Amino acid sequence: MQIHESVVIGAGQGGLSASFHLRRLGVEHVVLDANTRPGGAWQHRWDSLSMDDVHGVADLPDAPAPGGSGDRANEVIAEWFDEYEVTHELPVLRPVLVDRVRDEDGLLVVRAGERSWTTRTLVNATGTWTRPFVPAYPGQRDFAGEQWHTVAYPGAEHFRGKRVLVVGGGASAVQFIGEIAMIAHVIWVTRREPVWNDGEFSGREAIELVQDRVRTGRPPASVVSVTGLALRPQEMPAARTGVYDRRRPMFERIERDGVRWADGSFERVGAILWATGFRPAVRHLAPLGLRSPEGGIALLPGSTDVQTSVTSAVDPRVQLVGYGPSASTIGGNRAGRAAALAVRRHL
């Protein structure tokens, strides 16, 4: 039986960064990726998302990120990842859908159906894309119209001429409204009053607040929930229609032809777009018992850089890249290096 020094799960930005640094440090490892081709979650993003639209893609180690353009991000970044894997000879195996990780006699056994890999350490870089979150509301199953989530967004043209309810207070909701409001009637609802960024709150401060949550074992919150929202030039035409100013609080229930609020008011809609985010894809780690009573996975403090908090407080053999304070492309890169260094120290 082969015992690997490390196994990396996921070949997105964080997984590729971790693999690069493990290889540089001379740590024998394999990368298991669920996709059939390179590109991580980026390959699944909606076609209308161009490189000019993305909120920034960090460089990979020893490889500058593609610049802005009108080209589709799901193609450009997938090609970049593909070239990176080949150039740096990263040991990626695909498609491998990991379903569980167990401790067996002091070693970690990573299983994907009937296949398994035994390892001394683990770097989990599975992100969130495979765990879209849709909140439950009364009457949801009775709705006669369409329901979409960000993960399957069909593009603005699909909604032309329709009455569309956009649910969610994050950056994706703002972007979708910017695309749809010019060709459809849009109603925007959020659970909390949106907080617009006035430029005085730094991303670093936001990441530190997220780190405070994961250090104590609470589920990580999104960075945008503390940084606030901002309108880009692409959203300004929609903003001039007043669609963002007409935001309403969350409805009470869904009915066959629309949604109803607690005060009895009703809006007829033909489509609901749930821009309600994602949850960390860590169910396969459940057998290791990493979750705290608060529901999250507590991480040990990293260096002075808050994005290097990657080591599980319960099991230091396990590193989590892209979880909590490292849940961004630049955070994934820094966390990938931190994870590789932690793996080497453990070995």
CA distance 273 to 282: 25
For residue 88, the model assigns a pLDDT of 97
Q: How many CB atoms lie within 10 A of CB 256?
A: 10
How would you class 291 by CB atoms within 10 Å of its CB: exposed for 0-12, middle for 13-18, buried for 19 or more? middle
For residue 304, the model assigns a pLDDT of 60
Tell me if residue 249 falls in helix, strand or coil.
Answer: strand
Query: Under 8 Å CB-to-CB from 161, ≥6 apart: which residues?
Result: 183, 184
CA distance 15 to 22: 10
For residue 214, the model assigns a pLDDT of 60
CA distance 146 to 143: 8
Q: Do the Cβ atoms of 336 and 21 come closer than 8 Å?
A: yes
Q: What is the chain's pLDDT, residue by residue, as a tens digit (347 residues)?
A: 899 999 999 999 999 999 999 999 999 999 999 999 999 999 999 888 888 888 768 889 999 999 888 899 999 999 999 999 999 999 999 999 999 999 999 999 999 999 999 999 999 999 999 999 999 999 999 999 999 999 999 999 999 999 999 999 988 999 999 999 999 999 999 998 888 876 554 555 555 656 566 666 666 655 555 566 888 888 999 999 999 999 999 999 999 999 999 999 999 999 999 999 999 999 999 999 999 888 889 888 876 665 678 999 999 999 999 887 656 655 567 889 999 999 999 99
Q: How many CB atoms lie within 10 A of CB 152?
A: 12
Tell me if residue 174 falls in helix, strand or coil.
Answer: helix
297 φ/ψ angles, rounded to the nearest 5 degrees: -105, 115
Q: At what angle do helices 329-346 and 13-24 cross, to 10 degrees?
A: 40
**CB environment 58-71: b (16+ within 10 A), e (fewer):** eebbeeebbeeeee
For residue 303, the model assigns a pLDDT of 65
CA distance 276 to 317: 32
Alpha-helix residue ranges (DSSP H) falling in the chain: 13-24, 73-87, 171-180, 203-215, 224-227, 236-239, 329-346
